[in-house]
Amino acid sequence: MRRYAATVARRLKRHYPDATCSLHFRSPLELLVATILSAQCTDERVNQVTPGLFEKYRTAADYARVPQEELEAAIRSTGFFRNKAKNIRACCQTLLQQHGGEVPSRMDALVALPGIGRKSANVVLGTAFGIGVGVVVDTHVTRVSRRLGLTEHKDPEKIERDLMALFPKSQWIDLAHAMVHHGRRICTARKPKCGACPFGDICPRIGVPN
């Protein structure tokens, strides 16, 4: 299985050499906010909302003191805006109270923030800080890794453990980015383009719709 995983990693790198996070950001705080907004929302939509948001709110203090209703209005188009606004404000209040207004670069500190789970923490650590503590497992990584037979699990944390066991730590950040790109471009949910897939000769196509 490790040999198979190594082949997968080589092909992903060859076909998606410049794969990176598609959320636009200029600082760890902006990525943290964008990650919260991306829940149940496309990155494309988030990237339409964040330029104006980031221009108006630049620090954790700005988000912490903005009225709930004002923030809701600014992010309404991302969906679930009430809960997201609540989480962003609470998250930034915690940053002010416990981290001097700065985004921490530790997994334990990030997952303790309101609205931040392990997936979001991995995104921030890997993309903003270049720290590969784990593998980001979103819907694309879940689908691709299951179809390729890299995991049998559906639970993100169990999938992450399987991927961490199969791939060296140095590949964890880029692996997730490449899998996301592959899931968006080729290994789509409903009509995967298996004829154009770089894994066509080795993929077991587990769960691929007929």
* 36 and 107 belong to one structural domain: yes
pLDDT at 19: 94
pLDDT at 209: 83
* 11 and 64 belong to one structural domain: no
User: Does residue 110 sit within a domain?
Assistant: yes
Q: By C-alpha distance, which of 53, 7, 12 is closest to 30?
A: 53
**Distance (Å, rounded) from C-alpha 55 to C-alpha 204?**
47
Domain count within the chain:
2
**Section 103-121 average pLDDT:** 96
pLDDT at 210: 74
Q: Cβ(178)–Cβ(12) under 8 Å? A: yes
108 is catalytic: no
Q: Cβ(41)–Cβ(33) under 8 Å? A: no
Q: Give the whole-number percent of the chain exceeding pLDDT 90.
A: 99
**Distance (Å, rounded) from C-alpha 54 to C-alpha 26?**
9
Structural domain containing residue 86: 28-117
* 101 and 154 belong to one structural domain: no
Q: What is the pTM of this model?
A: 0.93
User: Does residue 42 sit within a domain?
Assistant: yes
Report CA torsion sign: 109, 59, 116, 178: negative
* 86 and 108 belong to one structural domain: yes
**Section 76-85 average pLDDT:** 97
Active-site hit among 84, 119, 162, 174:
119
Mean pLDDT value across the chain: 96
Q: Give the whole-number percent of the chain exceeding pLDDT 70.
A: 100
127-167 per-position pLDDT tens digit: 999 999 999 999 999 999 999 999 999 999 999 999 999 99
| Boundary of a domain, candidates 53, 86, 117 | 117
* 159 and 113 belong to one structural domain: no
* 161 and 104 belong to one structural domain: no
* 109 and 148 belong to one structural domain: no
**Chain center to CA of 7:** 23
Q: By C-alpha distance, which of 51, 96, 100 is closest to 74?
A: 51
Residues in the chain: 210
191 is catalytic: no
Q: Which residues contact 18 (CB under 8 A, 6 or more apart)?
A: none
First CA to last CA across the chain, in angstroms? 26
* 181 and 113 belong to one structural domain: no
* 55 and 10 belong to one structural domain: no
What 3-state class would DSSP assign to 167? coil
Please provide the DSSP assignment of 8-48 as one string. Answer: HHHHHHHH-TT----S--SSHHHHHHHHHHTTTS-HHHHHH
Active-site hit among 138, 154, 158, 162:
138
* 12 and 32 belong to one structural domain: no
Q: Indicate the pLDDT class of residue 196, thresholds 50, 70 and 90.
A: very high
